Amino acid sequence: MLQRQAMLRGWSPNTTVSYRRDLLDAQAFMADRKGSLFDADKDDVMRYLASLSRRGMKESTIRRRRSALSTWFGFLQEEGFREDHPARNLPAQRPTRALPKLLSETEVEALLQAPDVAIPIGLRDRCMLEILYATGLRVSELVGLQLACVDMAAGLVRVIGKGNKERLVPFGEEAGIWLQRWLTQRSSLVSRPSSHLFPGRGGKVMTRQNFWQRIKLCARQAGLRQLPSPHTLRHAFATHLLNHGADLRAVQMLLGHANISTTEIYTHVSRARLHDVVNKAHPLGR
Same domain, 164 and 35: no
Share of the chain above pLDDT 90, in %: 34
Same domain, 157 and 28: no
Domain membership flag for residue 100? no
Same domain, 271 and 139: yes
Residue 243 near residue 270, CB atoms below 8 Å = yes
Same domain, 71 and 114: no
Residue 95 near residue 63, CB atoms below 8 Å = yes
Is 138 among the residues known to form the active site?
yes
Is 48 among the residues known to form the active site?
no
Set 138, 214, 235, 240: catalytic member: 138
Predicted pLDDT at 232: 86
What's the structural domain count of the chain?
Answer: 2
Q: Is 85 exposed, middle or buried (0-12, 13-18, 19+ CB in 10 A)?
A: middle
Mean pLDDT (the chain, rounded): 84
Domain membership flag for residue 96? no
Tell whether the model's pLDDT for residue 169 goes beyond 60: yes
Predicted pLDDT at 251: 86
Set 65, 126, 186, 234: catalytic member: 234
Is 257 among the residues known to form the active site?
yes
Give the mean pLDDT of 77-91. Answer: 87
Give the mean pLDDT of 124-150. Answer: 93
Cα angle 210, 215, 218 (rounded to 5 degrees) comes to 130
Set 20, 47, 85, 162: catalytic member: 162
Same domain, 134 and 271: yes
Give the strand pairing for 150-151 and 156-160: antiparallel
Is 196 among the residues known to form the active site?
no
Is 19 among the residues known to form the active site?
no
Same domain, 65 and 112: no
Q: Where are the beta strands (DSSP E) in the chain?
A: 150-151, 156-160, 166-170
Set 42, 64, 181, 231: catalytic member: 231
For 246, the domain range is 105-280
Tell whether the model's pLDDT for residue 283 goes beyond 70: no
If you ran DSSP here, which 8-state letter would residue 85 be given? -
Residue 46 CA to its chain's centroid (Å): 28
Domain membership flag for residue 84? no
- pLDDT tens digits for range 1-57: 667 666 666 777 878 888 899 999 999 999 998 889 888 999 999 999 989 888 888
Instruction: Determine the 3-state secondary structure of 160 from DSSP.
Output: strand
d(CA 254, CA 232): 16
Tell whether the model's pLDDT for residue 242 goes beyond 80: yes
Model pTM score:
0.64
Is 231 among the residues known to form the active site?
yes
The residues facing 160 across adjacent strands are 166
Share of the chain above pLDDT 70, in %: 85
Cβ neighbours of residue 110 under 8 Å, at least 6 residues apart?
A: 222, 223, 224
Residues 107, 176, 238, 132: is their CA dihedral positive or negative? negative
Most confident region among 62-76, 88-102, 195-209 by mean pLDDT: 62-76
Same domain, 190 and 270: yes
pLDDT band at 182 (very low <50, low <70, confident <90, very high): very high
- pLDDT tens digits for range 217-239: 999 999 988 777 778 888 888 88
Q: Is 41 exposed, middle or buried (0-12, 13-18, 19+ CB in 10 A)?
A: exposed
What's the CATH code of the domain at 240? 1.10.443.10
Residue 174 near residue 134, CB atoms below 8 Å = yes
Predicted pLDDT at 261: 77
Tell whether the model's pLDDT for residue 160 goes beyond 90: no
Domain membership flag for residue 83? no
